[in-house]
């Protein structure tokens, strides 16, 4: 019975950078506690863009440069370095959800998949839906105290939809 912890996009640009918001700083210790206490596999996703971001479909809809590869904003806080070093895998994605993560989950069964990170109603939501599609017999859990959004109403809606999909919210 192997469990997986997925840390989604807890990157500097979403915490205090170009798309940062105050609530993002407040979940850091909760994510670190999950990482410290997790005994099985851990993976991370990194939102990853290049200089041409504004020319992409996402860039046209969200015209704020963020998470440009190899910049400070793209990185995670230094407290995460030890966990990144020991991660089972790191997924670099240029869109909200990671198909690479979904394919990994299809090929590697986990009895339970736990999610945390940023942003609850965008990338966290997208990756949970992909995970559920890739591995329908896994229990999927979202740690609400270790994820957040800049929009309380969108986050509330996302949580309601996830519950309707059978996702456990802790």
Q: pLDDT (tens digit, 9 = 90+) per residue, 129-163? A: 999 999 999 999 999 999 999 999 999 999 999 99
Write down the pLDDT at residue 145.
Answer: 98
Query: Which H or E element spans position 147?
Result: strand 139-148
Please tell me the class of the 3-169 domain: alpha beta
Please determine, for residue 6, whether its predicted confidence score (pLDDT) is greater than 70. Answer: yes
The pLDDT confidence band at residue 1, using thresholds 50, 70 and 90, is low
pLDDT (tens digit per residue) in 61-117: 989 889 999 999 999 999 999 999 999 999 999 999 999 999 999 999 999 999 999
Please determine, for residue 23, whether its predicted confidence score (pLDDT) is greater than 70. Answer: yes
Query: Which H or E element spans position 133?
Result: helix 125-134
- Among 150, 146, 156, smallest CA distance to 36 is for 146
Cα separation, 66 vs 14, in Å, equals: 8
Write down the pLDDT at residue 17.
Answer: 94
pLDDT (tens digit per residue) in 36-45: 999 999 999 9
Please determine, for residue 20, whether its predicted confidence score (pLDDT) is greater than 90. Answer: yes
Write down the pLDDT at residue 64.
Answer: 86
Write down the pLDDT at residue 117.
Answer: 98
pTM above 0.85, yes or no: yes
Domain spans of the chain, in order of start: 3-169
Mean pLDDT of the chain: 96
Crossing angle of helices 125-134 and 99-107, in 10° steps, is 30
């Amino acid at each position: 019975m192997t469990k997986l912890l997925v840390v989604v996009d807890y990157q500097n640009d979403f915490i205090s950078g170009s798309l940062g918001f105050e609530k993002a700083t407040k979940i850091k210790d909760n994510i670190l506690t999950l990482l410290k206490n997790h005994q099985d596999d851990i993976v991370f996703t990194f939102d990853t863009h290049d200089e041409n971001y504004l020319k992409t479909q996402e860039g046209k809809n969200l015209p704020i440069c963020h998470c440009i590869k190899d910049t400070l904003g793209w990185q995670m806080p230094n407290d995460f370095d030890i966990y990144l070093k020991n991660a089972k895998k790191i997924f670099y994605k240029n869109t909200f959800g990671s198909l690479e993560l979904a394919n990994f989950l299809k090929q590697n069964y986990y009895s339970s998949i736990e999610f945390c990170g940023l942003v609850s109603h965008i990338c966290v939501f997208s990756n949970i839906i992909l995970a559920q599609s890739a591995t329908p017999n896994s229990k999927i859990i979202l740690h609400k105290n270790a994820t957040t959004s800049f929009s309380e109403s969108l986050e509330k809606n996302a949580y309601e939809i996830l519950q309707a999909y059978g996702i456990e919210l802790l």
